[in-house]
């Protein structure tokens, strides 16, 4: 009876897809969120069991829809890709996002960020990174046994889960893929895509020219074969006529060999 009531309660609880808060408070914060999300999505694009999301509500415990956070970016290993209205952990084999990122904005309070870190600590996050683009300050935490411990030195730090490297320069933060490539922003990626598209267009045009030449050569070959066939047929007709004439001469008592 208790299980039936619990099941019924769970069914009645609604887990909203939105908390009514904006994704970002300013363009700088939004740009950093997009850079992290897109580059991590590209990094794991070929792995069907790595889920990357931005500003997605995460509900860690079934039955408690007020217990939630929406990390700016989160990565969950062992979770299939796909669209979701929210991340309800009990529907994801109870896998908590292993890595989360938060981009600090002027509107974030110390109390708010402390509550977020406590939430991530309590519900199984393995790596937590907090970046303040205004102050160019990066802080990271790594799970040690049962707690998230602060990482002493973030400059040059390599994420155990993601394999990406953090470089804190005097003016900004740079992140590098495991292959050494620098994370790119949307405009850079768009420019690269445009360049790749131009190259593809050039290759397509060259292929079109080659195909046209092949078609011309094939047509020329077909014409030559047709002419050769006509010559062969004409020769066969001539030979047949010569044989027929020779037969007529012989029937008339004339030796066709005598000239």
pLDDT of residue 258 exceeding 80, the answer is no
Average pLDDT, the chain: 89
Q: Using one digit for the tens of pLDDT, what is the confidence trace for 165-203?
A: 999 999 999 999 999 999 987 676 667 667 778 888 888
Mean pLDDT value across residues 132-154: 95
User: What does the alpha-carbon distance between residue 192 and residue 184 come to, in Å, rounded to a whole number?
Assistant: 10
pLDDT of residue 209 exceeding 70, the answer is yes
Q: Using one digit for the tens of pLDDT, what is the confidence trace for 17-38?
A: 887 777 777 889 999 999 999 9
In sequence order, the 6+-apart residues with CB closer than 8 A to the CB of 151 are 139, 140, 141, 142, 157
Mean pLDDT value across residues 51-75: 96
Q: Using one digit for the tens of pLDDT, what is the confidence trace for 246-256?
A: 788 777 778 77
pLDDT of residue 184: 86
pLDDT confidence bin for 244, thresholds 50/70/90: confident
pLDDT of residue 134: 94
Which of 110-114, 189-193, 223-227: highest mean pLDDT? 110-114
In sequence order, the 6+-apart residues with CB closer than 8 A to the CB of 29 are 72, 103, 104, 105, 133
Contact 96, 124 (CB under 8 A): yes
Instruction: Supply the pTM of this predicted model.
Output: 0.70
- Calculate what percentage of the chain has a pLDDT beyond 70: 92
Q: What stretches of the chain adopt beta strand conformation (E)?
A: 50-54, 58-59, 73-77, 87-88, 99-103, 127-132, 137-144, 147-150, 165-168, 173-176
Contact 56, 87 (CB under 8 A): yes
Mean pLDDT value across residues 40-67: 96
Poorest-confidence range of 53-67, 143-157, 226-240? 226-240
pLDDT of residue 2 exceeding 50, the answer is no
pLDDT of residue 125: 98
Q: Taking Cα atoms as reference points, which of 89, 29, 27, 28 lies closest to residue 54? A: 29
User: What does the alpha-carbon distance between residue 138 and residue 143 come to, in Å, rounded to a whole number?
Assistant: 17
CA trace torsion 31, 37, 43, 44 (10° rounding): -170
SS3 state at 210: helix
Contact 162, 40 (CB under 8 A): yes
What domains, with CATH codes, occur in the chain?
Answer: 2-184 (3.90.1570.20)
User: What does the alpha-carbon distance between residue 99 and residue 253 come to, in Å, rounded to a whole number?
Assistant: 109
């Amino acid at each position: 009876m208790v299980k039936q009531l619990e099941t019924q309660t769970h069914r009645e609880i609604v887990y909203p897809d939105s908390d009514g808060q904006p994704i970002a408070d300013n363009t700088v914060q939004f740009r950093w969120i997009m850079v992290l999300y897109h580059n991590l999505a590209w990094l794991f694009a070929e792995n069907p069991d790595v889920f990357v999301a931005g500003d997605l509500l995460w509900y860690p415990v079934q039955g408690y829809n007020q217990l939630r956070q929406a990390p700016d970016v989160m990565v969950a290993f062992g979770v299939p890709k796909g669209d979701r209205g929210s991340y309800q952990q009990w529907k994801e084999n109870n896998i908590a996002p292993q890595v989360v990122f938060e981009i600090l904005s002027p509107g974030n309070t110390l109390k708010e960020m402390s509550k977020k870190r406590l939430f991530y600590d309590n519900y199984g996050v393995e790596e937590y990174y907090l970046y303040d683009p205004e102050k160019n300050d990066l802080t990271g935490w790594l799970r040690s046994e049962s707690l998230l411990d602060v990482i002493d030195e973030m400059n040059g730090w390599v994420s155990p889960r993601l394999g990406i490297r953090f470089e804190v320069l005097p003016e900004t933060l740079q992140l590098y893929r495991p292959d050494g490539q620098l994370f790119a922003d949307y405009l850079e990626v768009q420019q690269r895509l445009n360049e790749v598209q131009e190259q593809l267009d050039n290759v397509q045009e060259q292929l079109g020219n080659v195909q046209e030449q092949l078609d011309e050569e094939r047509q020329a070959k077909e014409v030559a074969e047709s002419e050769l066939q006509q010559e062969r047929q004409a020769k066969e007709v001539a030979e047949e006529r010569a044989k027929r004439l020779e037969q007529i001469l012989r029937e008339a008592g004339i030796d066709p060999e005598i000239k």
